[in-house]
Every structure is written in C-alpha cells, then in structure tokens.
Amino acid sequence: MTKTRTFLLSVVGLVSVLAAAHGGVLRPVLAAGQESSSQPQQARPTPRRMDSHTALGLGRVPDAAAAKRGEPLYGQNCQACHGEGARGSIGPSLVRSVLVLHDDDDTEIAQVVRSGRPQAGMPPFKQLTDAQVHDIAEYLHQLIELSANRGLYKGAETMESGDAGKGKLYFAAHCASCHSVTGDLAGIGTKFAQPTALMARIAWPDEHGPQAATVVLADGRRLTGTLVHYDDFETTLKPADGGEQTWPTDTVKVEIPDKIAPHRALLPQYSDDDLHNLTRYLMTIK
C-alpha cells in the first residue's frame, strides 16, 4: 500500500469519527470572521390547490361591484347589437371575444368603445365616462368568468338548482324535434351519476358510432354509406349495397352531415337557467 493511499484512508477514517461525534451531521468550516447560521431550515409550504379561475387562465378576478354597475350600462348601450348577456346578436358575441378575454386593464375595450368600428357598423360611444367604460368592461369580464365556470359556480356535484317543469317545456320547444324521452333518451337520468356531467353532454354532445357520408364523384354520381377512412390523400367509403371503395380525396367531394349542428346552434343561446332546468328535467327520465 502506497503512502498516499494510506494517508487518504486515514483522512476518511477521521471524518467518519467526527461525523459520529456530532450526531452524523457535518458542518462546513467557516472562514475567519464568518458567522455560523443557527437558523433551522424552513419547511416547504404545502402546495395550494389551484382554483378554477387560475386553472382556466382567466386573468385577474373581475371587480364584482363594478360589474354590477356595468350591467345596466351594457343594457342601455350595447345589448341591442351584442345581445343579452353579450352572447351576440347582429353584433358578435363578446363572451367569446379574444380582445375582451385578454384585456386585463380595459385599455383595448375602451379604445373600441371610444372609437367604434365604423367598418362593422359600430358607432363610437364618446358620451360614456372612463368610469362607465371600466364598469362595462368589468361586466364583460364577469360574464366570461361565469361562462367558463358554468359547471362549477352554480351547482357543484349535486346541483340543487333547476326547475324540471320549465325544463320539460324547454325540451318540447327546442329538443323534441330530434330527441324523444321514450326513444333515444329513454332512461337517460340513470346514465349520469352527476347532473353536471349530463349538463356538459347537453351543451356539447359527443359523436358516437359509424360516420355516415356521401361521396360525389367527378361524373356527378353520389354514393352514400359509412365513411371508413378520410384524410387529405384518400377517402374510403363502404356503401350499404357493396364493398369498400377508395378514391384520391382531391378527385371527389365528401359530404358529411353534422349531427350536432342543432346543439352548436343552441350553444350561444342557452341561458344558465335553460341548461339547469333542462338538466333537472332529464334527470327525472328513469
């Protein structure tokens, strides 16, 4: 064994003895004049559960008092074009506006209100004060918050809200032309453990099963059947009376019916009460 190796082993042994003498904890050697910190290491804070507002990326929380003042101002100045609840009418929906969503300090909203958008038929509203514009902007931010939290802010898992009688009337007026509580929706109240899950399905249903389509050939012939494959390059259809047929996609026209078009049309028209009433009614269909 060389002298160098003997020396290193001796050092390691000395370190082990010192560590044992100090309870297994080694402290660094301090330079002259350097003070030792005897403060205990702070425990890591318990991670906080992210609230729904932050999780949805909605920016700052709207000022509720300003939003309350802004609601009648919106009704007097904006509702005729942008609709009740800012859901859109002859003017666009402001609940889905990217400008409104990302304008945390109201500067962009104020610019549009002050200058208008003449090319789109919107006049300027120069008579509104800065405070009034701020209140309208806060009302719009609150509407976006409520829409984004639709499944959370009014219901929770048990969802006590909703009037089944009003929901039945709404179903008859808006849903019965396509659906039946004794047909495709028979027993629907037993298929969802939570009302909020059913409400989400009402607002935006999933498409299940084979997708029907019609392929229009270059010579004008129309073939209807089940769409087996469809992308930018190839289209494969299985007609009801024959085997699969495949064409280059750029040589045919493919018509695919939108089965949830009625739901898509109703989406901007639903009020929160509409959805809760309809959900409450459908939960009674056992």
Pairing assessment for the beta strands 253-255 and 212-216 based on DSSP bridges: antiparallel
CB 231 within 8 A of CB 249: yes
Measured CA to CA, the distance from residue 21 to residue 28 in angstroms comes to 15
Q: Give the pLDDT of residue 272.
A: 81
Q: What is the pLDDT of residue 151?
A: 45
- Summarize the chain as % helix, strand, coil (round to 5): 45, 10, 45
Q: Where are the domains of the chain?
A: 54-148, 164-206+262-282, 212-258
Q: What is the pLDDT of residue 51?
A: 47
Q: How far apart are alpha carbons 282 and 275 in whole angstroms?
A: 11
Spatial separation of the C-alpha atoms in residues 278 and 201, rounded to whole Å: 12
Q: Which two tokens stand for residue 141?
A: 């931010």
Report the Cα–Cα distance between both ends of the chain, in Å, rounded: 87
**How many residues does this entry show for the chain?**
286
**CATH topology assigned to domain 54-148:** Cytochrome Bc1 Complex; Chain D, domain 2 (1.10.760)
Q: What's residue 84's pLDDT?
A: 83
Token pair of 118 as six digits? 């003449």
- Mean pLDDT (10-residue bins), the chain, 286 residues: 48 47 46 48 46 55 88 90 82 83 86 85 90 92 74 49 92 92 92 80 69 90 90 88 88 84 77 88 92
The domain made up of 212-258 has a fold known as SH3 type barrels. (2.30.30)
Question: Would you say 135 and 73 are in contact if contact means Cβ atoms under 8 Å apart?
Answer: yes
pTM of the model: 0.40
* Sign of the CA dihedral running 133, 137, 142, 143: positive
The pLDDT, as a whole number, for residue 195 is: 84
Q: What is the pLDDT of residue 47?
A: 42
User: What's the pLDDT score for residue 30?
Assistant: 45
Q: Are 195 and 280 a contacting pair, CB within 8 Å?
A: yes
What is d(CA 120, CA 203) in angstroms, rounded to the nearest whole number? 30
